[in-house]
Amino acid sequence: MLTSQRIFAYLWSLLVFPYLAFASLDCHSLTIPVHVNVEVPLIDIPVPANQSVVTNILQEFLTITANFVEDHIIGTQTVDAHYQIFGQLCSPHGVGSGATLEIATHGVGLDHTYWALGGDNSPNNYAASAVNAGHSIFLYDRIGTGQSSKPDGIQQVQVGVEAEVTHELVEFFRAGHANVSYDRVVGVGHSLGSFITVAVTESHPGDFDDVVLTGIAIDNLPSVLIAGATIMPTIAAEVFPRYHGLPNSYWVFGGFPNYQILMVKFPFFSQALLGISFANEGVVTLGELITLLAPTMTTASAYTGRVLVVTGAEDFAFCNGDCSQIVTGTQTAVQAVQNLYPVASAFQTFVPENTGHSINMHNGAAAAYAVIESFIGA
């Protein structure tokens, strides 16, 4: 009797103690001013007059013989701009110099809260798992989303500009402006946020010691076309009162079924977290969708840090629902990410089963987090 009570108490402590550690997750809001000066694609599409024009853009993009992206990038331009970047800095108690900082960049239809789903005690809360592993983490709203600046959705809210914003955040933290001097900075991305993190490793190879790219795969154009069709872009200002006043280049998903099919794999996700994320739905811009597909993504030929790719086995956005499909002779679309990293000191992949695109919403999130935090290490 006593023995079984002890066993029960022990098992109970295993369950409870990790969450006790999360219970007082120490986060504070920061708004960081950044200045970017960067050359990016010039897109010759005017702000769409109405939804009919947006739907036509999608139809032209999906037309089988079209070269939509190449046809509409007509050169380069310099974006010289100041933005305010809002985020949350979460840290283990008493974190001092020498610490590791993760910088987390979210994907489309989301904002910084993707990294803190379900509250402090939730096994889906990525920030809590990072802090519990002894890391600080800055989860922020990309330009165009949440409480960060919302500039031109065609010429400014683009992958290249966003990579420069992320670079400026790295500089801010490395310079000790958050009152801690971080020794290691790790880039963590999801979906578009992973492509932005890749772009930083291309343009500023010294920024990140390591990168963790989630919800990413490449060289699978059919998947990207289907994903684009699935989003069914809809003018954000016409759907949500909170987006009134944004230009017609800011879009949301067509509706909840569109959101579900892209974000998660049925039934292995939390309906509540998908619902909360949809209620808080973030935007995607015309500039982001075009530059995501622009042939500007080369290789991170000078990045010598380590790379971990974590993509759900049933990712719909970039694997067309099956990441075991071979896309480039011998590689899957997840393995193909290695081609971007010819001199990385390590390249690893983790492809969790029963998991769709937005890993953090799935029942297997905590297991994926354990792999990620152990990769990042102390």
Ligand X SMILES: *[C@@H]1O[C@H](CO)[C@@H](O)[C@H](O)[C@H]1NC(C)=O
The reply to whether 310 sits near ligand X by the rule CB under 6 A is: no
Stretch in the footprint of ligand X (CB under 6 A) among 46-54, 71-79, 306-314, 330-338: 46-54
Stretch in the footprint of ligand X (CB under 6 A) among 50-58, 67-75, 99-107, 194-202: 50-58
Count of residues in contact with ligand X, rule CB under 6 A: 7
Question: Cα(126)–Cα(372) distance, rounded to whole angstroms?
Answer: 10
Asked whether the beta carbons of 358 and 107 are under 8 A apart, the reply is yes
The reply to whether 96 sits near ligand X by the rule CB under 6 A is: no
Judged by CB under 6 A, the residue of 34, 159, 178, 344 near ligand X is 178
Tell me the closest approach of the beta carbon of residue 138 to ligand X, in angstroms. 10
The reply to whether 216 sits near ligand X by the rule CB under 6 A is: no
Judged by CB under 6 A, the residue of 49, 64, 279, 378 near ligand X is 49
Of 172 and 303, which CB lies nearer to ligand X in the complex structure? 172
The reply to whether 179 sits near ligand X by the rule CB under 6 A is: yes
Sole residue written with tokens 């699935």? 230
350's CB contacts (< 8 A; 6+ apart) are 308, 309, 310, 368, 371
Task: Tell me the two tokens of residue 324.
Answer: 């075991």
Of 159 and 165, which CB lies nearer to ligand X in the complex structure? 165
Angle between helices 192-203 and 159-174 (to 10 degrees): 70
Of 30 and 232, which CB lies nearer to ligand X in the complex structure? 30
Q: Cite the DSSP H helix spans in 124-177.
A: 126-132, 159-174
Of 135 and 357, which CB lies nearer to ligand X in the complex structure? 135
Sole residue written with tokens 């409870």? 16
Task: Tell me the two tokens of residue 346.
Answer: 């390590």
Question: Cα(274)–Cα(361) distance, rounded to whole angstroms?
Answer: 7
The reply to whether 50 sits near ligand X by the rule CB under 6 A is: yes
Asked whether the beta carbons of 310 and 216 are under 8 A apart, the reply is no
Measure Cα distances from 95 to 90, 92, 136, 181 in Å: 10, 6, 8, 10
The reply to whether 84 sits near ligand X by the rule CB under 6 A is: no
Tell me the closest approach of the beta carbon of residue 160 to ligand X, in angstroms. 27
Measure Cα distances from 114 to 72, 175, 185, 218 in Å: 32, 27, 20, 22
Of 46 and 257, which CB lies nearer to ligand X in the complex structure? 46
* Nearest CA-CA partner of 136 in 145, 144, 127: 127
Stretch in the footprint of ligand X (CB under 6 A) among 47-55, 65-73, 116-124, 158-166: 47-55
Neighbours of 254 (CB within 10 A): 16
Angle at 145 between CA 216 and CA 219, to 5 degrees: 20
Of 50 and 271, which CB lies nearer to ligand X in the complex structure? 50
Stretch in the footprint of ligand X (CB under 6 A) among 45-53, 62-70, 97-105, 308-316: 45-53
The reply to whether 339 sits near ligand X by the rule CB under 6 A is: no
The reply to whether 99 sits near ligand X by the rule CB under 6 A is: no
Of 87 and 109, which CB lies nearer to ligand X in the complex structure? 87
Tell me the closest approach of the beta carbon of residue 95 to ligand X, in angstroms. 12
Task: Tell me the two tokens of residue 203.
Answer: 């343009």
Question: Cα(288)–Cα(297) distance, rounded to whole angstroms?
Answer: 13
Name residues contacting ligand X, limited to 23-42 (CB under 6 A). Answer: 30
Asked whether the beta carbons of 102 and 186 are under 8 A apart, the reply is yes
Tell me the closest approach of the beta carbon of residue 374 to ligand X, in angstroms. 28
Asked whether the beta carbons of 107 and 191 are under 8 A apart, the reply is yes
Name residues contacting ligand X, limited to 238-257 (CB under 6 A). Answer: none
The reply to whether 54 sits near ligand X by the rule CB under 6 A is: no
Of 249 and 270, which CB lies nearer to ligand X in the complex structure? 249
Which residues are at the interface with ligand X (CB under 6 A)?
30, 49-50, 52-53, 178-179
